[in-house]
Chain A
Amino acid sequence: MEKQSIDQLKQICSQVRRDCLRMVHAVQSGHPGAALGLTEYFVALYFNEMTHDSKFKMDGKGEDMFFLSNGHVSALWYSVLARSGYFSTEELGTFRKLNSRLQGHPATHEGLPGIRIASGSLGQGLSVAIGVAQAKKIDKDDKLVYVMMGDGEQQEGQVWEAGMYAAHHKVDNLIAAIDYNGQQIDGPTAKIMDLKNLRAKWEAFGWDVIEIKKGNDIESVVNGLAEAKGLTGKGKPVMILLYTEMGYGVDFMVGTHKWHGVAPSDAELENALGQLEETLGDY
């Protein structure tokens, strides 16, 4: 796929947000908050940054590969995969329904193209991505591995096992990112289990850390990803602290954990869609 311009990326973001809200609304279940917050990052990866082929190959040899550890952002991933040609956008209408390939949390079990491992139980994706990155090294494949985690997910111990390992083994073909929205199910992370200084923590573990302060500004995200890529191949894994706002793009959803796992009503959907232009056609 050709790299899309900033204007094109913005248009895709608006459509992807519409998809996410319509998917969650249709089945009255799912996680709209973080999906809206991470839209720019996913769109930048799939439509601008990564070299990837929608004629999906599980082993991803010769391609950049993306892994989602905080699997509850599934609606976003499905929309982005469909919009980049992995499967038909019509299939988005089956999200979370019986006999669908679009399971509540991402899974390989039903054979959905674009998904390489199940996620949902938190803390596991970084380990998996590191394993994939090491397989690429064995194969002398110079493409990169990307992985996304939640900030609340940093409370899982396995994340730090993986962090220690990746630095020790110099897994420098890996770009991990943390969705730094400061929210988790029970409230703000600072109140539930304070993450304190994440940058210092990851640096102390031996990672190169960069911050994308405006994670909902597509240009900042594209530039941040380029900066991260420039740090690969230098003996250290790379971490992006991606500052986002949960619920971004919809005024009544933004900046609160309340929409973590709640679906909009008919009226709320109508209100939300009124704030997001239909750019590529609804599914």
Chain B
Amino acid sequence: MEKTLDLKYTFTEKKDTRSGFGDGLLEAGRKNPNVVGLCADLIGSLKMGAFQKEFPERFFQVGIAEANMIGLAAGLAIGDKIPFTGTFANFSTGRVYDQIRQSVAYSDKNVKICASHAGLTLGEDGATHQILEDVGMMRMLPHMTVINPCDYNQTKAATLALVDHVGPAYLRFGRPVWPIFTPADQKFEIGKAWKMIEGKDVTIFATGHLVWEAVVAEAMLREEGIYAEVINIHTIKPFDEAAVLASIAKTGCAVSAEEHQINGGLGDSIAQSLARNSPAPLEYIGVLDSFGESGTPTQLLEKYGLNAENIVKAAKKAISRK
């Protein structure tokens, strides 16, 4: 189906976003001697091996002890280092929420919490590892920046941007190979939404892997004469409210799309902004208050309603509610 569509963005290669992190971290290490890495026994999964090899004195294997890792990172930040911690998203957030809250967020430490295998697209490992609440937990924390890039290139750019950003940050990425449809030389501006496709009938606000699904959905809608605006919300906090409101002022309705619970994620950020400023119909694409399960990423996105087809349906519903 995708091949017949007139897509506004295309790709020639697929890669996992976690590799964007790993390659970004290596480059960051070369650019800034204060960058240090920590990993809780998942160096291969987080793609931190190249950094470890090139900078062994600036890399710390923590073992399976995530709480300790967060504390260590806070301490390294006190000593003027720029620590990037690496483990799965579940163990980066839910397992260590209080450590992040007290030692990183409340203490305003320059720690970059880097989380792979987020969301359903982790796949076969199932619900124990498919965290769908992490964005909500992290965006509730004062001081915390929350970033969820959409492909390899954007993840790499986001990783590099975090080196110059001072303050606690959560960087969320994933495991599956995914289309690389954003440019390699993009400038990543933390907190600034990226309008990828101009439209007039409905706005699709998407984050992470679902930005690609939104791009596909836009082409599908266009075939039916519906012109959707696609905005890539790579930074969920700080939230680019001005960009959201400007788009809604034009289109009058919206769809949010995220690989996360509908509670507490991007959709709720948009809803809060609309409710406080200019109410408009909003349809959520996200997981409906349930846990995930084992399956391939494609199967899971389909079963839980997180793919382009479902974004199309949600867009039409949002338009009908105008």
Contacts and interface: CB of A to CB of B under 8 A. Distances in A.
Nearest to B72: A131
Interface string B102-129: 1100111100000000000000000000
B78 interface: yes
B72 A130 contact: yes
Nearest to B96: A158
A139 interface: yes
Contacts of A244: none
Contact of A131 (B58, B65, B75, B98): B75
Given A117-B107, A124-B103, A135 B79 contact: yes
Contacts of A121: 98, 101-102
A133 B75 contact: yes
B89 interface: no
Interface string A116-157: 111111011111111111111011000000000000000001
B68 A135 contact: no
Contact of A124 (B62, B81, B99): B99
A134 B68 contact: no
B97 to A, nearest CB: 11
Contacts of B77: 131
Interface stretch (A56-64, A246-254, A260-268, A273-281): A56-64
Interface string A73-100: 0000000000000000000000000000
Interface stretch (A159-167, A175-183, A198-206, A235-243): A159-167
Contact of A134 (B72, B107, B108): B72
A36 interface: no
A80 B85 CA distance: 34
Contacts of B80: 59, 61, 135, 139
A108 interface: yes
A3 interface: no
B73 interface: yes
Contacts of B74: 117, 127-128, 131
Dominant secondary structure at the A interface: helix
A109 B290 CA distance: 36
B143 to A, nearest CB: 9
A205 to B, nearest CB: 13
A133 B101 CA distance: 22
A191 interface: no
A234 interface: no
A153 B301 CA distance: 44
Contact of B75 (A61, A128, A139): A128
Contact of A158 (B67, B76, B81, B108): B67
A138 B68 contact: no
Contact of A139 (B72, B79, B109): B79
Given A130-B72, A131-B72, A117 B78 contact: yes
Given A158-B99, A164-B65, A117 B109 contact: yes
A118 B102 contact: yes
A107 interface: yes
B70 interface: yes
B103 A128 contact: yes
Contacts of B36: 138
B63 A164 contact: yes
Given A161-B65, A161-B68, 20 more contacts: A58-B78, A60-B78, A108-B106, A109-B107, A109-B108, A117-B78, A118-B102, A127-B75, A128-B74, A128-B75, A128-B103, A131-B71, A132-B76, A135-B79, A135-B80, A136-B79, A157-B67, A158-B71, A162-B68, A169-B60
27 contacts: A59-B79, A60-B78, A61-B80, A108-B106, A108-B107, A109-B107, A116-B78, A116-B107, A117-B74, A117-B103, A118-B103, A127-B71, A127-B103, A128-B75, A128-B78, A130-B71, A130-B72, A131-B76, A134-B72, A135-B75, A138-B81, A139-B80, A158-B99, A161-B67, A165-B62, A165-B65, A165-B68
7 nearest A-B pairs in the assembled complex, by CB-CB distance: A131-B75, A135-B79, A127-B71, A161-B65, A161-B68, A131-B72, A132-B75
